A and B are shown apart, each in its own frame.
Chain A
Amino acid sequence: MKNDLQKAFDAVQADERLKRRTKAYLRRATLDYGRDTQRRRQRQTRMVSCAAAVMLMVMGAGMWLLPVTSIDLDINPSLELRVNTFGRVTELKGMNADGLALVDSLNVKGMRYDDAMQRILISEPLEPYLEDGSLISITVVGKDESLAEQMLSNVVCRAYAIAEEDNIFYCQTDPETARAARRVGLCVLRYQVWQQLKEKDPSITVEAVALMPKAEVMALAKFEKLENPCGE
């Protein structure tokens, strides 16, 4: 009987068609042994990479366009350089009539802020203002104090190479103070002088400070024995 059983069991064999069907079924059931999944993952990875690249480009563009600091240059023409996180000038604005008249002739967009400052100071339209020993005030406005300090040092160095040191006044401040100065219609330098003068003489008005010639403001500051408002 053992032989009969073995022969009978021997008669049952998985033929090639069944094996082929089974192998095909297993490929389907396992999504080609994960190769589909792998391909899908690769596609997803590529898509995520592309999206990340686009996002980085958008963010980069945003960061390029977004000013993080500004440099106010006040001679008589009053100008404001807006500087992005990469230290490049994104915009040059005229802050008074003379400044507005100059803006179009000064092409500094995309330049490093200190190079831009140098180009402005040696530019032809500014020559007449600097020849008569005008006072130059430079104010760097930024949230990051150490960055603003570094920038101030760099632009003042460029200014020293062009104008008389005694005629250059400079300071740095935070955006909140800059906004407060703008609200009362003063530049940061005058605003800070006004703030310090007010402590000694509360009767000094904004209008009075605004109308003072710059030299007088500084003289008044010296007269009042205040520290240089630029911290020098």
Chain B
Amino acid sequence: MRSEQEVNRAVECYADMVLRLCMVYLKHPQDAEDVFQSVFLKYTLSDKSFESEEHEKAWLIRVTANACKDSLKNLFRRCTVPLEEAADCVTEMSEEQSRVWQAVRELPKDYREVIYLHFYEGYTAPEIAGILRKNPNTVYTHLRRAKELLRERLGGVADEE
């Protein structure tokens, strides 16, 4: 088990990223918070040593993605979709930001994760494939389709990479 000091550092460093990923996958903020806490509990109890901060970050992304997918499989998960209820976790959003979030959350879940990891965390498709242990071609496909869907819903040019 890791020390409290080490865990607190990880919470401070990665809380935003883990929460965003949870929000990308899960519609209810309480589910997101449950998964958020379970990810850090897993981190606390894990004895895995990381070669670098990048390695640690990638591990947390994979653990969060898997925990969210497990939560989605739970038949008893909450099914309501009130983004507004996430006020605890979300700083005040402009109308435009809410519209973008809504568009992202309406994407199929495999598209949501790659959109976040690519556009926000800046990972390339092969890197995302490595982290999520997916075929790079699949990631490329998901990215392309996600951009197309977002372009349809939000308008504008998707490829501003």
B138 to A: closest C-beta gap in Å: 21
A6/B120 in contact, CB under 8 A = yes
**A9, B93: Cα distance in complex, Å:** 10
B37/A25 in contact, CB under 8 A = yes
A26/B44 in contact, CB under 8 A = yes
Which of B16-24, B65-73, B126-134 contacts the other chain? B16-24
**A27, B5: Cα distance in complex, Å:** 11
Which of A12-20, A66-74, A76-84 contacts the other chain? A12-20
Secondary structure of the B contact surface, majority rule? helix
A22/B37 in contact, CB under 8 A = yes
**A5, B154: Cα distance in complex, Å:** 10
Max count, chain B CB within 10 A of own CB: residue among A2, A13, A14: A14
A12/B3 in contact, CB under 8 A = no
Residues of A with C-beta under 8 A to B50: none
Which of A28-36, A116-124, A190-198 contacts the other chain? A28-36
B1/A30 in contact, CB under 8 A = yes
Interface size class of A (residues with CB under 8 A): 20 to 34
Interface 0/1 of B29-54, CB less than 8 Å to A: 00001001100110011000000000
Interface size class of B (residues with CB under 8 A): 35 or more
Max count, chain A CB within 10 A of own CB: residue among B4, B104, B116: B4
B89/A19 in contact, CB under 8 A = no
Residues of B with C-beta under 8 A to A161: none
B23 to A: closest C-beta gap in Å: 5
**A15, B154: Cα distance in complex, Å:** 28
Q: Known contacts A4-B154, A29-B41; decide if A22 and B93 are in contact (CB<8 Å).
A: no
Residues of A with C-beta under 8 A to B92: 11
Which of B56-64, B74-82, B95-103 contacts the other chain? B95-103
Judge whether A3 is part of the interface by a CB distance below 8 angstroms.
yes
Judge whether B145 is part of the interface by a CB distance below 8 angstroms.
no
Cβ contact of B36, chosen from A1, A7, A18, cutoff 8 A: A18
Interface 0/1 of B121-161, CB less than 8 Å to A: 00000000000000000000000000100110010111011
B18 to A: closest C-beta gap in Å: 7
A-B contact pairs, 22 of them (CB 8 A): A1-B150, A1-B157, A4-B100, A5-B104, A5-B115, A5-B119, A5-B120, A8-B96, A8-B97, A11-B92, A12-B19, A12-B20, A12-B86, A18-B15, A22-B15, A22-B37, A22-B40, A30-B44, A30-B45, A33-B3, A33-B4, A33-B44
Q: List the interface of chain B (C-beta within 8 A of A).
A: 1, 3-4, 7-8, 11-12, 15-16, 18-20, 23, 33, 36-37, 40-41, 44-45, 86, 88-94, 96-98, 100-101, 104, 115-116, 119-120, 147, 150-151, 154, 156-158, 160-161
